[in-house]
Each structure stands twice: as structure tokens, then as C-alpha cells.
Structure 1
């Protein structure tokens, strides 16, 4: 009877796992891949635009710009697009190159008067617009946190953030979140004798019909979405000074208009911006000038860029020959992987092949390996218990109530610590003095299986406490 009861309990556990797996699979297999992914990640808000044959063909809005006030996402909702700003800055730089006002390989100190790269043991003359746009300049970065009103100018920010060379330029790819394109921003100001933001609005945004695009850091017009950290924490919009690297505020439709223009520029320009640059190979692939080329097995090349700030996630991608593209903007940390997954699915459905960010795929594989390992541990624990029961080397403990309480207490304490580490901002506050960062947002969707298996391991540990060695 005891053996049958154990086998029955094990069967129930396995049945529950199977039911959950089937439910999740069915949930993921809806008819529309866009709705599917948005439903799976459940961000506070999102806007998705699909471009077909060089024309905006579809705009979809999901969720809320402000959850607390029940303000829905609309076509005019503005989002921060973070590092996609680099692609827009790169396009502006290339226009100045085409006009003969800039040269990609001239030392940037040639153009600068308000601020210059400080002298170091490295050769600052090797720092050019090309190395800055390809993230091979070797400069020290800036996190853009901690600014207070009134905000400094770009040259003041470069000074205060102690931006300088930390290695020889041109040799190693090292992604610069803000400083590299911040310097490019200052170069533009010096060359056009105008504020960067004013030049961009007059010469890039307005000509492209990007009426809801700017570098504003505050919600002056009531159209800004509220950024949400973690699962549901509304946070303030982080002020950005190095706007060339991450300061654009825009709508999904406006960004789609820019993507259409980029496709036109690819098909009618010299394509220098789109060429993979020297020494840019990294775990994320190759890098061009402010944009990432993804060469597919078919030979097609999709150009893309992602953008992420706390509370904001964005993605754009396009294949310029077929003139197909997509844009997704969100005001939620929960959608960090959604933007990559949507690009992958869009590529599969529209381009005929998945467009994969190799770095993100490595993280997904790492999580998959953890899932497999935990699954093997669970199965091994169950198998060992079943064998011991069959051999009658373990029996129901006479002190099972005490053992139950002890094991359950240990499991619940460990679960609480696990939750605090993964799903609260406590670890980042304690270790790095960083607010609004939650570890779970850096994990892909398959991480849910880690939690599911850990729950079953916890249940098994409590269940196992019923048995002790048979002393015969």
C-alpha cells in the first residue's frame, strides 16, 4: 500500500507538470504572433508598427501609458527609445558626411573647441567619428545617472563625467552607452554652430514628418508614457544630457517613419553607414555605424538596433531590399526580452528566417541548461526515493509532523530569499546602490520553468521528509 501511495503521488506530480506544459504551449500558439508575445510578457504598455513595401501598414497599441490613471497607449504616446537614438544620430552624421562637412576618419579633436579628449598615454588622434560610431574608440563611458536641474551642456557633461581614453582606439569593440555618441553630439554642435537638439529637430525630425519626436526629458505635453520598473513600479523619467547616445523621445509611428527613411537611404546612398566595421566582432555579432547588421543564412541582411533604459524597452528592424520593417516601443521592464522575441518572430513570418540577437540567444541557452539540470535533479531525487521505498530502505517516519514542519520551514525560508533576490530591487540596492533594478527582468521567458521546477523540488523535499531510514 505504501509503495502504491508513493507511486500515485509521483504520478500526480508528473501529471501537474504535463498540464502546465500543455497550458503554456497552447497559450503561446495563438494565431497572431504579435498579440501572442504581448500577452505572454504582459507589459504595462506597448506600441507595435509593421512596415510593408516601404509603407506603414499596421499600428497596434496595447495596455496603458499610465496604469494608475488608466491612460491608454495611443498613436501619439511618446516613449524613450534609449540606444536607438544612436542610429538617428548616426544618420544625421552621415548626412553631414555626404554634405562634405564631416569626414569619418579625421581625428575628432579637429572639430572640437568647447571640449577635447584629454591627454592620456593613448593616441587620441586615432579617435574618429568612425571609431565613435562603431564603439571601437576606447573611451571611458558614462551611465547618465544623477543629473539635477538645471542640466549641464554636453561639453560640461563630458568634463564632469571624466570622459577620456582607457585603451588604444580602434582595436576592441566595447559598447559605449552614452559617451561615444555624446562626443558625436558635440561634434555636430561645433560643425553646424547650433544646439544639437535644435539641429536634429529642424533637419531630421521635421523633414521626416516626425512631429511627436524630441529630446524632452519630462512630460510637458501629457503625451509621455510612464516608465515602469520591475513588475509594476512607476518611476520618474531619467534626465539625459548625452542625447546623441540615448535621449530621443518619440512615438512608434514616428520611429517607423525614420525606419522607412533609413531603407530609402540604404537603397539610394553610398551604404557606408551599413557596412560592418573593423574589429567590431563581439558576442552580439558585428556592428556597423550606429546600426547592427544581421546576415541571415539566406544571404539577406536585416538591420536592427535595440534600446533599453530602466522602464523603457524598444526595438527596430528592417530588411531594406524588400522594404519590410518593424518597430516596438514599451514602457515596461517586463518587456526586455519581448522586443527581441518580436524581432525574431517578425523575421520568421515576414523575412522567412528568424532574426536572432546572438547575445540574447546565449542567455536563453544558459537558462535552458539550468532548466535541464534542475529537471534532472528532480527526476533523480524522485527515482532514488522510489527505489529506496521498493527496497524498504526508507519507511514513513514516526516523527513526521516535526520533520514536516522543519522541512517546510526551510523550504519557505529559501523560497523567500530566492524571491527577494530575483524579484525585488534589494540586491541591487545593497550591492550596487542602484534603484529600480530587478534581476528577473534580465531573464528570458523560459525562466518561468526554473521557478516551476524549483516549486516541485520544494514540494518533493517536504514530501520526502515523511520518510526516514528503515533500521530494520
Structure 2
């Protein structure tokens, strides 16, 4: 007889030292269950519930990609066009960052880099490279920076401005910064915050009333 799922998860929590986990099970295209096991706070012994906020981390990129495709369809966005055609509050540089981390002029006689497109950003091939140790979690009491502060390299989350290190499609490099750019593009196209975009294009149509995409406090 197979162990119940809850028993297996409890054992894995003990083995890994993780305080708790929240999970959902989908069967036959329906949510069969949504459970939470373990502790929300080791210090107080508070039990974790499926109403506690947990970090989604890069699961949010999947959400962002769906929203980007929905916006592109409604607003007739060319997925392969220069994103600077759509940006109004920020500009993607056409130069590249040199080996020292500084923004370098295009080599003498060489043309500017090819434009960065929404498609290249979505597939992590826009020529962006995140610095080591960037995009760490916020800590309790730390204010969330604005998107423009992140893109401008004005925060510890990303200590340098977003500038390509190579031309689009030359290399694959998983990039959190690239998805920050996507968020800015979508907001500039629609005039809506990403919170409202997530609600309109994803959470509301799917009936996900318990989901939201906004910052309340560091987790």
C-alpha cells in the first residue's frame, strides 16, 4: 500500500528541514485539493494554512509570460519589434556592457546591437546577463523598490542598470532583469499596473479569487 501523500510530505519536510509547504493537486483539469502542511513560523509554532502568503519566485515568470501574450493579442503587439517602440518610461540601450561591468560604446565602425524584442525577453535570449547574487529576497522592514529603480541599477537587488552584454539570440542566459523589462513594457503599453494586468488577464478569467500579484510585505 502506498503512503498517503501527506505522510510522504511530512517526512520530506523533516529530511530537508523545511518548515512547511503549500501545494495543490490537479486531476481531470480540476483542482482536486489545496493543502498546507507544516509550520508558518517555527518560533511561534503557528501552523501553515493555504491562506498564508508564500514566495512564488520564478513561478511568476510563467504568469508574466501568459499576461504578455494576452496583452500582445489585445493590443496588436509585434512580438519581434523593438521594445523601445512600446516603452515610454524607460529605454533599452543599444550598446553593450563591457567586461568590467560598465556600459561601453559600440565598437568603432560596428552597427548598434540588434533591437531587443518581447519574444527574445520571454525566452531569455535578449542578451541580458544578471550579475551574481542579484535579485535576492527582500528582508523584513525593507521597502520594495520601484520597477524603474531596478531597471536603473539603483537597488541592491540589481546593482547595475539593465544593459545588454550581447546581441539578441546569440546566447541563452536566464534573466530576472529581462522579466522586469517585460513588466515595464506591458505597463507602458496598457497604462495599467502589473497588479491590474494579472487580475484582468489571468486571475479573474480563471476564477482565482485567492490569487493576487502585489507586494505587501517581505516574506
1:163 matched to 2:154? The reply is no
1:193 matched to 2:191? The reply is yes
1:99, distance to aligned residue in structure 2 (A): 2.0
- Whichever of the two has the greater Rg, that structure is 1
1:84, distance to aligned residue in structure 2 (A): 0.7
User: Residues 131 and 46 from structure 1, CA distance in 2 versus in 1: closer, same or farther, beyond 3 angstroms?
Assistant: same
State the distance in 2 between where 1:75 and 1:145 align: 25
Q: In structure 1, what is the equivalent of residue 156 of structure 2?
A: none
Of the three residues 47, 52, 66, the one matched with 1:91 is 66
User: Residues 31 and 152 from structure 1, CA distance in 2 versus in 1: closer, same or farther, beyond 3 angstroms?
Assistant: closer
Instruction: Look up the SS of the partner of 1:180 in the other structure.
Output: helix
State the distance in 1 between where 2:147 and 2:35 align: 36
1:40 matched to 2:15? The reply is no
1:203-222 paired onto structure 2 within 5 Å: 203-219=201-217
TM-score by length of structure 2 reads 0.76
Instruction: Look up the SS of the partner of 1:88 in the other structure.
Output: helix
Q: Structure 2: give runs of 5+ residues left out of the alignment.
A: 96-105, 154-159
State the distance in 1 between where 2:112 and 2:60 align: 28
1:364-383 paired onto structure 2 within 5 Å: none
More helix by share: 1
Q: How many residues get paired?
A: 192
String of CA shifts for 1:441-472, please: whole Å, max 9, x gaps. Answer: xxxxxxxxxxxxxxxxxxxxxxxxxxxxxxxx
Q: CA RMSD in A?
A: 2.5
String of CA shifts for 1:61-95, please: whole Å, max 9, x gaps. Answer: 21111122222122212211100100000000111
Q: In structure 2, what is the equivalent of residue 128 of structure 1?
A: 117
State the distance in 2 between where 1:38 and 1:32 align: 10
TM-score by length of structure 1 reads 0.37
Check conservation: 2:6, 2:37, Cα contact below 8 A.
no
State the distance in 2 between where 1:165 and 1:159 align: 13
1:146, distance to aligned residue in structure 2 (A): 8.6
Q: Structure 1: give runs of 5+ residues left out of the alignment.
A: 1-28, 220-235, 238-472
Check conservation: 1:108, 1:125, Cα contact below 8 A.
no
1:149, distance to aligned residue in structure 2 (A): 5.8
Instruction: Look up the SS of the partner of 1:77 in the other structure.
Output: coil
State the distance in 2 between where 1:136 and 1:153 align: 24
1:144 matched to 2:135? The reply is yes
User: Residues 124 and 214 from structure 1, CA distance in 2 versus in 1: closer, same or farther, beyond 3 angstroms?
Assistant: farther
State the distance in 1 between where 2:194 and 2:213 align: 10
1:13-412 paired onto structure 2 within 5 Å: 31-32=3-4, 35-42=7-14, 43-120=18-95, 121=106, 123-141=112-130, 143-145=134-136, 151-160=144-153, 161-176=160-175, 178-219=176-217, 237=219
User: Residues 118 and 131 from structure 1, CA distance in 2 versus in 1: closer, same or farther, beyond 3 angstroms?
Assistant: same
Check conservation: 1:101, 1:191, Cα contact below 8 A.
no
